[in-house]
């Protein structure tokens, strides 16, 4: 079974803090993705990566950055957390390069920014 | 501009009957469509998918239909079971530059199976 793990299930941070969300997958997938889920908005793509040290912007990259130093790990960074970044953050991975099929999701991190 | 639309925020169906969840899309560059199921406090789990070159894909109780000319797809669950109660997301894969981008999701439909 594919396993995608996220470092925290729940996180509370203060406005202006730098926040790191970590994601690890154990299936040697090339592709990794970060989404956020908000009520009434579905899932929206923040950033994705097709290979180590590669990254591409998704639909809502503003206020975020990412790091992929190792194939199994993809980090999402909030440089200066703001209250509008309170959300559920979901990491996903998939194989197949740029012709991937399904993505496998982690359990999510619920981030609250006060 | 929403490229993947699920116009029903919720749907209530009696146990044993058929559940039909609908999804419309606007981007003709989408070439692969997926349905995910999500329980509260869990990540989405993949359910079923369909390539744009097909019009139907079946997997057990789940069937996805694609009408490319209408830019419409639907998920049929038959018979519906209590464990099917969840939020269902329609997603589409698009292409740009050298290959596929991330998925574009609809807002979800909350399916409630009534006993």
Strand partners, B75: B21, B64
Q: Does residue B75 carry a pLDDT above 80?
A: yes
First to last CA, chain A: 36
Q: What pLDDT, on a 0 to 100 scale, did the predictor assign at position B97?
A: 61
- Greatest CA span in chain A, whole angstroms? 40
Using a CB–CB cutoff of 8 Å, tell me whether B39 touches chain A. Answer: no
How far apart CA A32 and CA A49 sit, in angstroms, is 5
Q: Does residue B105 carry a pLDDT above 80?
A: yes
Q: What pLDDT, on a 0 to 100 scale, did the predictor assign at position B101?
A: 74
In tens, the pLDDT along A23-57 reads 999 999 999 999 999 988 889 999 999 889 889 99
Please judge whether B46 and A97 are an interchain contact, meaning their C-beta atoms are less than 8 angstroms apart. Answer: no
How many C-beta neighbours within 10 Å does residue A69 have? 9
Q: What pLDDT, on a 0 to 100 scale, did the predictor assign at position B7?
A: 92
Q: Let me know: does A85 contact A60? Beta carbons within 8 Å.
A: no
Using a CB–CB cutoff of 8 Å, tell me whether A77 touches chain B. Answer: no
Q: What pLDDT, on a 0 to 100 scale, did the predictor assign at position B99?
A: 62
For the segment B77-98, the average pLDDT, to the nearest whole number, is 89
Q: What pLDDT, on a 0 to 100 scale, did the predictor assign at position B44?
A: 93
Q: What pLDDT, on a 0 to 100 scale, did the predictor assign at position A95?
A: 82
Q: What pLDDT, on a 0 to 100 scale, did the predictor assign at position B96?
A: 65
Q: What pLDDT, on a 0 to 100 scale, did the predictor assign at position B37?
A: 96
How far apart CA B9 and CA A9 sit, in angstroms, is 26
B93: chain A residues, CB-CB within 8 Å? 100
How far apart CA B115 and CA B81 sit, in angstroms, is 9
Q: What pLDDT, on a 0 to 100 scale, did the predictor assign at position B31?
A: 87
Cis geometry, peptide bond prior to residue B79 (ω within 30 degrees of 0): yes
How many C-beta neighbours within 10 Å does residue A40 have? 7
Tokens representing B88? 């269902």
Q: Let me know: does B34 contact B103? Beta carbons within 8 Å.
A: yes
Distance from CA of B60 to the nearest CA of A (A): 18
For the segment B55-65, the average pLDDT, to the nearest whole number, is 97
Please judge whether A100 and B104 are an interchain contact, meaning their C-beta atoms are less than 8 angstroms apart. Answer: no
Separation in Å, CA B48 to CA A24, A85, B58, B75, B97: 24, 31, 8, 9, 26
The closest CB to that of B107, out of A41, A99, A104, belongs to A41
Q: Which residues contact B36 (CB under 8 A, 6 or more apart)?
A: A105, B44, B45, B46, B47, B88, B89, B91, B105
Tokens representing A100? 């991937």
In tens, the pLDDT along A62-113 reads 999 999 999 999 999 999 999 999 999 999 998 876 667 788 999 999 999 9
Q: Which residues contact A16 (CB under 8 A, 6 or more apart)?
A: A80, A81
Q: Let me know: does A10 contact B49? Beta carbons within 8 Å.
A: no
């Amino acid at each position: 079974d594919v396993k995608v793990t996220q470092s925290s299930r729940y996180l509370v941070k203060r406005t202006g803090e730098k926040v790191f969300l970590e994601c690890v997958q154990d299936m040697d997938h090339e592709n990794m993705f970060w989404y956020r889920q908000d009520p009434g908005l579905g899932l929206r793509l923040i950033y994705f990566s097709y290979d180590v040290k590669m990254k591409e912007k998704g639909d809502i990259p503003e206020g975020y950055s990412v790091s992929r130093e190792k194939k199994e790990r993809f980090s999402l960074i909030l440089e200066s957390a703001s209250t509008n970044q309170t959300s559920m953050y979901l990491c996903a991975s998939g194989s197949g390069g740029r012709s991937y099929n399904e993505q496998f999701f982690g359990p999510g991190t619920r981030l609250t920014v006060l | 501009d929403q490229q993947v639309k699920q116009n029903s925020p919720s749907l209530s169906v009696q146990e044993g009957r058929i559940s039909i969840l609908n999804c419309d899309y606007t981007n003709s560059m989408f070439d692969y469509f997926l349905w995910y199921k999500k329980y509260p406090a869990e990540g989405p789990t993949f359910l079923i998918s369909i390539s744009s070159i097909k019009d139907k894909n079946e997997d057990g109780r789940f069937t996805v239909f694609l009408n490319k000319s209408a830019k419409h797809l639907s998920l049929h669950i038959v018979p519906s079971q209590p464990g099917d109660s969840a939020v269902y997301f329609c997603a589409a894969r698009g292409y740009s530059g050298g290959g596929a981008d991330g998925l574009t999701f609809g807002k979800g439909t909350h399916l409630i199976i009534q006993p």
